[in-house]
Amino acid sequence: MARKRHVRRRGVQSQEDAREARLEQRRLRLRRRERFGQGVTDLLEVPGDLVLNVPRVTIVGNLQMVIENHRGLIEYSPEFIRVGTSTGQMTIAGTDLAVGSVFADDLSVMGRFTRITFEEMPEDEEAP
């Protein structure tokens, strides 16, 4: 007599539950990557921006800025520039702002800076 095979059925997840599960997995991966990168930087005594791929900003007075490890120019006007970073967005406000150069690894901005802000990426938003 043949044995009956029991099939285990998974509960049906709603789209919202599936999305929440994917986001939680992404958060966990990011935390693990961050902890690993921090451990490597501590062990090897190297600057964190080399291992963690975080933006590095060099400002000369309030006239010139170089942003390394950027993810691209999002918005630009003479009074407002928004740049994508691995952690979210960087906003530069000022007057007579101009983008000097845009390369894959760095971006230069010139003008008079009045405000520089960093906005973290919302946790429910997928990274590009």
Mean pLDDT, range 9-18, rounded to an integer? 69
In this prediction, residue 4 has a pLDDT band, given cuts at 50, 70 and 90, of low
Question: What gap in Å lies between CA 120 and CA 102, rounded to an integer?
Answer: 22
Higher-confidence residue: 4 or 83?
83
Among candidate residues 83, 107, 80, the one with its CA nearest the CA of residue 94: 80
pLDDT given for residue 30 in this prediction: 73
In this prediction, residue 13 has a pLDDT band, given cuts at 50, 70 and 90, of low
What pTM value is reported for the model?
Answer: 0.59
In this prediction, residue 19 has a pLDDT band, given cuts at 50, 70 and 90, of confident
**DSSP string covering the chain:** -PPPPPPPPPPPPPHHHHHHHHHHHHHHHHHHHHHHHHHHHHHHT--HHHHH---EEEEETTTEEEEESEEEEEEEETTEEEEEETTEEEEEEEEEEEEEEE-SSEEEEEEEEEEEEEEEPPTTSPP-
pLDDT digits (tens, 9 = 90+) for 59-76: 998 899 999 888 899 999
pLDDT digits (tens, 9 = 90+) for 21-31: 888 888 887 77
pLDDT digits (tens, 9 = 90+) for 78-123: 999 999 988 889 999 999 999 998 998 899 999 999 999 999 876 5
Residue 112 tokens read as: 């008079």
